[in-house]
Amino acid sequence: MIANLTYYISEETPPKANAMINTFRAFGYNLQTAIADIIDNSISAKAGNVWIDYVWDGTNSWVTILDDGEGMSRCSLVNAMTPGSKDPNDERDENDLGRFGLGLKTSSFSQCKILTVASKAEDHVILKRCWDLDFVNQTGKWSLLDYISDESFLDKLSEMKSGTLVLWQNLDRLVGNSHKDNDAARNVFLEEFALVEEHLGLVFHRYLQKNKLKIFINGIQIQPWDPFMKEEYGGQLICTEVLDANNVTIKCYVLPHISNIDVEARKKAKTDDWYKLQGFYIYRNERLLLYGDWLGLFPKNEHYKNARILIDIPNKLDHLWKIDIKKATATPSVSIRKDLVRLGKMTRLAAANVYRFRGNQIMLDDSITSFDFQSVWKASKLRDGSVKYYINQDHPIIARLFNSDNIDKSDLKMLLNLIGNSTPIESIIQNYSENPESFELRSENSELEEGTISLARLMFDSLLQTGLSHDFALKQIFHIQPFNEYPQLIEYLK
């Protein structure tokens, strides 16, 4: 039986303003996630455009985020500036990207000490409210001010039919006490906003692609980047399933091999980070929440890096997926975990097949002789399970040069280019990722082959003939690979 607690003596224990408001600064946002959280509010307000502007001026630097959404009444504005103004269990509009009623405050306080929000509803005047954390710490009171430091910040908003302006000042986390002439601090400031542009182009790419939203940074429109590369390079959709009472849609993609992407596009495609970008991509109402994560269901692996799985969930499932305040972590609901494992295995297998094919594993294997194709490199599996790679002397070009009485410089250069350009990097990486323990560094006791000894002697004699001393010639030899791996060579160089 549950006791009726209304009959018990109780006290009201509101949190201390300065202690609580400073706690809001420690939620772990960075500049990219903080600005994305502000834009979520713009989307919920049905904005079609968002303008982000920033100015470097040392400690007087500032950031504004302006949208052309519906704007807010006085009551709505005060409520929006009140910490914890929403119950996460309340039913929300399906397009609402917020949940806790904390995002505006926590994301802003993570970057600045002065947060001002001004809003204008259609046919209404501009209203403004400001949190100054230094003032809250000084007074110890929840003092929400009707204040803005400079009325000129309102000029653009005043010309609009409706909208909302978020102003960040005293950017202590981003700028600190840096003087405006501090070039190093200025460069860090600008680099951070370059990362913001990349982040927003990815997180809101589906809104941007469908022209549901336009985002500008200092007047330059942000372009979307689709991590599944469906249009540009034909990312392959291999499966679509609808699960959890038709609430969750899952699409499994295998990306094209990197060799099919032109050099210029590789930067945009972030191919340097493909290993990190493999995994599940969780969207809530088309907004990317979490990406490049296997959600603890699988480990990341080099030959699965072309696998990406799109998961669409509605906001009513936030509690089941344990979406956090920053919208940066998620845990799949128990009801579909087995399905995610099944679809993940299938997608990873398809991605591995693309990777293995490009690695020419079969053609490299010198134990298989059924192929007429001759590769420059060959691979031989050793007793300990490791793989040894070597130059295939039966390759037609190499064999022709070996049979020639003379090899001129152009032929030698051609041979070296051929060997370098055909190095089986993908095969080496794949073998290592599948069996890393077999790839140990060469030990000092490695077997020293006669060919290595002969080559070392030849180079050693050549160095002596140039006039180098014995000791200096030895030092030069042991600075050259592979001789540096065989200290016992010193016995043969006398």
Average pLDDT of the segment spanning 422-432? 69
| pLDDT, tens digit, 9 for 90 and up, residues 297-318 | 999 987 788 999 999 988 887 7
Q: What is the pLDDT of residue 404?
A: 79
Buried b (16+ CB within 10 A) or exposed e, 164-197: bbbbbbbbbbbbeebeeebeebbeebeeebeebb
| 3-class state of residue 126 by DSSP | coil
Work out the number of other CB atoms within 10 angstroms of the CB of residue 70.
Answer: 19
Closest CA to 270 of 233, 215, 238, 240: 233
Residue 128 has pLDDT above 90, yes or no: yes
Rounded Cα distance between 216 and 53, Å, is 8
| pLDDT, tens digit, 9 for 90 and up, residues 273-302 | 888 999 999 999 999 999 999 998 999 987
Please confirm whether the linkage preceding 482 is cis (ω < 30° from 0): yes
Best-predicted range by mean pLDDT (111-125, 256-270, 324-338):
111-125
Q: What is the pLDDT of residue 180?
A: 93
Alpha helices in 148-295 (DSSP H): 155-158, 183-203, 205-209, 263-268, 274-277
| pLDDT, tens digit, 9 for 90 and up, residues 162-188 | 999 999 999 999 998 999 999 999 999
**Bridge partners for 281 per DSSP:** 310
- Most distant CA pair in the chain, distance: 107
Average pLDDT over the chain reads 84
Residue type, 126: I
Which pair of tokens denotes residue 232? 């540009």
| pLDDT, tens digit, 9 for 90 and up, residues 41-72 | 999 999 999 999 999 999 999 999 999 999 99
Rounded Cα distance between 213 and 220, Å, is 14
| pLDDT, tens digit, 9 for 90 and up, residues 142-166 | 999 999 999 999 999 999 999 999 9
Residue 202 has pLDDT above 60, yes or no: yes
Q: What is the pLDDT of residue 208?
A: 97
Rounded Cα distance between 119 and 163, Å, is 6
Work out the number of other CB atoms within 10 angstroms of the CB of residue 146.
Answer: 10
Contact 116/135 with Cβ under 8 angstroms?
Answer: no
Residue the block writes with tokens 């995002």: 103
Residue the block writes with tokens 């280019």: 417
Best-predicted range by mean pLDDT (21-30, 122-131, 333-342, 451-460):
122-131
Instruction: Enter the DSSP assignment of 315.
Output: G
